[in-house]
Amino acid sequence: METTVRTPVKRPGLRKYRRFSGSVFSVLTTLFLLVLLTFVIGRLMPVDPVIAVVGPDADRATYLKVKQELGLDLPIFQQFWIFFKNLLHGDFGSTLLTGRPVMEDIVRVLPATIELATVTIILGAGIGIPLGVYAAVNRGRFADHAVRLIALLGHSTPIFWIGMVGLMLFYAKLGWVGGSGRIDLFYEDIVPSVTGFLLIDALLAWDMDVFWSAVSHIILPASVLAYASIAYISRITRSFMLEQLSQEYVTTARAKGVPRNGVIWHHAFKNIRVQLVTVVALSYGGMLEGAVLIETVFGWPGFGQYLTNALVIGDMNVVVACTLIIGCVFIVLNVISDLLYRFFDPRIQ
Q: How far apart are CA 284 and CA 126, in angstroms?
A: 13
Q: For residue 126, what is the domain's CATH number? A: 1.10.3720.10
Assess whether 112 and 61 both reside in one domain.
Answer: no
Assess whether 261 and 125 both reside in one domain.
Answer: yes
Within-domain flag for 305 = no
According to DSSP, the residues that pair with 101 across neighbouring strands are 94
> Helical H runs in the chain?
12-44, 49-54, 60-69, 76-88, 102-137, 142-156, 159-166, 198-204, 208-245, 248-255, 260-261, 273-290, 292-297, 303-313, 316-344
187-197 burial, b if ≥16 CB within 10 A, otherwise e?
Answer: beeebeeeeeb
Assess whether 199 and 148 both reside in one domain.
Answer: yes
Assess whether 33 and 159 both reside in one domain.
Answer: no
pLDDT at site 20: 64
Assess whether 295 and 165 both reside in one domain.
Answer: yes
Q: How far apart are CA 328 and CA 141, in angstroms?
A: 43
3-class SS at 101? strand
Within-domain flag for 1 = no
pLDDT at site 1: 46
Q: Domain range spanning residue 76? A: 25-89+314-349
Q: How far apart are CA 101 and CA 113, in angstroms?
A: 19
Assess whether 78 and 148 both reside in one domain.
Answer: no
Per residue in 242-298, pLDDT (tens digit) is: 888 888 888 788 888 878 888 888 888 888 888 888 888 888 887 776 677 788 888
Within-domain flag for 51 = yes
φ/ψ of 62, rounded to 5, equals: -65, -40
Assess whether 270 and 326 both reside in one domain.
Answer: no
Per residue in 88-137, pLDDT (tens digit) is: 877 777 787 677 888 888 888 888 888 998 999 999 999 999 999 999 88
pLDDT at site 127: 92
Give Cβ neighbours of residue 186 (< 8 Å, ≥ 6 apart). none
Within-domain flag for 117 = yes
Assess whether 255 and 143 both reside in one domain.
Answer: yes
Burial of residue 172 (CB within 10 Å: 0-12, 13-18, 19+) is exposed
Assess whether 42 and 166 both reside in one domain.
Answer: no
Assess whether 195 and 272 both reside in one domain.
Answer: yes
Within-domain flag for 235 = yes
Within-domain flag for 72 = yes
pLDDT at site 281: 84
Within-domain flag for 325 = yes
Q: How far apart are CA 44 and CA 314, in angstroms?
A: 10
pLDDT at site 123: 92
Assess whether 58 and 128 both reside in one domain.
Answer: no
Count of domains for the chain: 2
Assess whether 77 and 36 both reside in one domain.
Answer: yes
pTM for this predicted structure: 0.80
Within-domain flag for 98 = no
